[in-house]
Amino acid sequence: MNLVGDILRGYTDMLLLAVLEERDSYGYQVNQLLQEKTDGAFSLTEATLYTSFKRLEKQDCIVSYWLETKNQKKRKYYSITSNGKKLLKEKKKEWEEAKALIEQVLQKNHQ
């Protein structure tokens, strides 16, 4: 199953914040971590990834900073803020509620 489109629409921010809650990361690395955690079933386009980062920065949910790597290459890293942690908690609660409602409907159809 390839998790794209409508299935996860609206949960992109939650997924990004969940990855950044584990550790600061740069864009490509965030996408790689999402792919690893989903056994390759989910990844974001570059446009979606960076649009989400910009939105989350405007909401003060993440901050960015530049870090120079060993080979003198600079990368823009992202870090979750306290507002981001609060939003992540809210989004997780919303997800659990939505999931419970969907399961409730599906179980009623099988009884």
The CATH class, in words, for 5-109 is: mainly alpha
Residue 94 has pLDDT above 80, yes or no: yes
Q: How far apart are CA 35 and CA 21, in angstroms?
A: 17
Rounded Cα distance between 31 and 49, Å, is 8
In the predicted model, what is the mean pLDDT of residues 30-38?
93
pLDDT for residue 86 is more than 70: yes
pLDDT of residue 3: 52
Average pLDDT over residues 18-35: 96
